[in-house]
Amino acid sequence: MQFNVAILPGDGVGPEVAAEGIKALKRIGEKFGHDFNLHYGDIGGASIDNHGEALTTETLKMCKKCNAVYLGAVGGPKWDDPLATVRPEDGLLALRKGLKLFANLRPVKVFPMLADHANLKPDVIKGVDFIFVRELTGGLYFGKPKKKWETSRGWKAVDTMAYSEKEIERIVRVGFELARTRKKKLISVDKANVLETSRLWRMVTTQVAADYPDIELEHQLVDACSMRIIQQPTAMDVLVTENTFGDILTDEASMLAGSMGMLPSASLAGVPKGESSRAFGMYEPIHGSAPRRAGLNMANPIATILSCAMMLRYSFGLPKEANVIETAVDLALEEGYRTYDIMGEGMKKVGTSQMGDQIAAKI
Ligand code: IPM
Ligand code: MN
């Protein structure tokens, strides 16, 4: 089969880790006889440097014409001036909004061979395997008004958390559909004891639950949830939540896996249904551009390579090929290959491209 993939390497370690994901993608193409046509574009700081804006209309158009978008990372100290009028992150947010990527899937998995590596007790995190469904185009990130202004008594600023019934419904449906393919348990995370948007969230989620009598729904307050994630993470399976809560909780949860360099993500424009469903999506590691590691062949490419597997599964309808990549990652870890962030005693320390080679060779 033929697929068009927009490649946006971005900033910092982005280009390095994206290159390793592309290695894996090309191996899959050779092995299974698929054609992946790659179309490169700029995003973030790279786009600011080359075009003066964090995302150009040309790049957005190019992405829309493709079957999926594959992204490295954006941001870096070079563009961090708080007074700057354009920021690399704006490019990512514009892409999410422009491509209507409302559903951000962030799986959290503890690899058995890395259970001793995390800061938490191995007994607590062994077997952790859950997934966040984070709403990605609403809430505080996009609500209006959003501004900063000077008054006679000093500066003021406002961000707005806004959600409509429709926005909530479509994201919680993603949660219910995923729960159906897993343990049939859905945790909806909100702050309904304080926030009006959360009370609406709870109301809509409870209504949608009527369509999913096979799924057990539990509402959790976000503060309690953040505690449960480190207290008893094996009790989690599918969690659905709004944009900002999801942003914070997923960074927290990444520490279960030992390193942010292990966690992939998918941002979808549709509701995935069943094994070989297809939705337009963007795929990226959850980590940032790690500017201090850039250009040193150090960064862990596993999150990006696993994001490639998610692309095969959710946008191309190729679950078998996705499994092959995931197994290749398992094998490389089992053979003891480790980048600096997951290095342990007696293991073989490798750089970004060597890790990518090892994984590609096992595909
Ligand atoms: C993420 C990142 C982004 C976010 C930033 C880079 C805008 O932290 O994908 O989690 O806040 O959504
Ligand atoms: Mn984040």
Greatest extent of the chain over all pairs of C-alpha atoms, in Å: 67
CA of 70 to the centre of ligand 1 (A): 16
**pLDDT for the residue 331:** 98
At 129, give phi and psi (nearest 5°): -160, 90
- What average pLDDT does the segment 315-321 reach? 96
Specify the 3-state DSSP secondary structure of 350: coil
**pLDDT for the residue 210:** 98
Closest ligand to the CA of 73? 1
By alpha-carbon position, which residue is closest to atom 9 of ligand 1? Answer: 286
CA of 286 to the centre of ligand 2 (A): 7
Q: Take residue 47 and report the two structure tokens written for it.
A: 């786009």
- What average pLDDT does the segment 44-65 reach? 98
CA of 141 to the centre of ligand 1 (A): 10
In the predicted model, is pLDDT for residue 43 greater than 90? yes
100 is catalytic: no
CA of 233 to the centre of ligand 2 (A): 20
Q: Take residue 206 and report the two structure tokens written for it.
A: 């409870």
**pLDDT for the residue 117:** 85
Atom of ligand 1 nearest to the CA of 251: 10
CA of 214 to the centre of ligand 1 (A): 33
Atom of ligand 1 nearest to the CA of 75: 6
Q: Ligand 1: residues within 6 Å at CB? A: 89, 92-93, 247
Closest ligand to the CA of 265? 1
In the predicted model, is pLDDT for residue 313 greater than 90? yes
For the stretch 161-182, pLDDT in tens is: 999 999 999 999 999 999 999 9
By alpha-carbon position, which residue is closest to atom 5 of ligand 1? Answer: 89
Q: What is the distance between the alpha carbons of residues 284 and 270, in angstroms, rounded to a whole number? A: 17
Q: What is the distance between the alpha carbons of residues 193 and 225, in angstroms, rounded to a whole number? A: 14
**pLDDT for the residue 83:** 86
Specify the 3-state DSSP secondary structure of 255: helix
For the stretch 7-17, pLDDT in tens is: 999 999 999 99
Q: Take residue 288 and report the two structure tokens written for it.
A: 């940032």
By alpha-carbon position, which residue is closest to atom 7 of ligand 1? Answer: 89
Catalytic residue among 23, 109, 191, 362: 191
Residue entry with tokens 């709403």: 135
Looking at residue 10, its amino acid is: G
CA angle 341, 344, 346 (to 5 degrees): 140
Mutating to test ligand 1, I would choose from 93, 135, 287 the residue with most ligand atoms within 8 A of its C-beta, which is: 93
357 is catalytic: no
**pLDDT for the residue 275:** 72
Q: What is the DSSP track for 98-151?
A: HTT--EEEEEEE--GGGTTTSSS-HHHHTT-EEEEEEE-SSGGGTEEEEEEEEE
Specify the 3-state DSSP secondary structure of 225: helix
Q: Looking at the chain, list the stretches that DSSP marks H as alpha helix, in order from N- to C-terminal side.
A: 14-32, 45-51, 57-65, 88-98, 122-125, 165-181, 196-209, 222-231, 243-254, 302-314, 319-334, 352-361
| Among candidate residues 111, 115, 125, the one with its CA nearest the CA of residue 232 | 125
Mean pLDDT rounded to a whole number for the chain: 96
Atom of ligand 1 nearest to the CA of 250: 10
In the chain, domain spans: 1-112+258-363, 118-129+137-239
CA of 146 to the centre of ligand 1 (A): 17
314 is catalytic: no
The CATH architecture annotation of domain 1-112+258-363 reads 3-Layer(aba) Sandwich (3.40)
Q: What is the distance between the alpha carbons of residues 227 and 231, in angstroms, rounded to a whole number? A: 6
**pLDDT for the residue 272:** 82
223 is catalytic: yes
- What average pLDDT does the segment 124-141 reach? 97
DSSP code for 213: T
For the stretch 145-157, pLDDT in tens is: 999 999 999 999 9
Q: Looking at 242-318, list the stretches that DSSP marks H as alpha helix, in order from N- to C-terminal side.
A: 243-254, 302-314
Catalytic residue among 11, 90, 247, 341: 247
Mutating to test ligand 1, I would choose from 89, 95, 134, 260 the residue with most ligand atoms within 8 A of its C-beta, which is: 89
Residue entry with tokens 């509402």: 219
Query: Cis ω on the peptide bond leading into residue 112 (within 30° of 0)?
Result: no
Atom of ligand 1 nearest to the CA of 93: 7
Atom of ligand 1 nearest to the CA of 284: 9
| Distances 133 to 179, 257, 259, 265, 336 between C-alpha atoms, Å | 10, 18, 20, 10, 31
For the stretch 260-300, pLDDT in tens is: 999 999 999 998 887 777 999 999 999 999 999 999 999 99
**pLDDT for the residue 129:** 97
Q: What is the distance between the alpha carbons of residues 104 and 260, in angstroms, rounded to a whole number? A: 16
In the predicted model, is pLDDT for residue 207 greater than 90? yes
Catalytic residue among 49, 80, 116, 223: 223
For the stretch 208-262, pLDDT in tens is: 999 999 999 999 999 999 999 999 999 999 999 999 999 999 999 999 998 999 9
123 is catalytic: no
Q: What percent of the chain has pLDDT over 70?
A: 100
**pLDDT for the residue 25:** 98
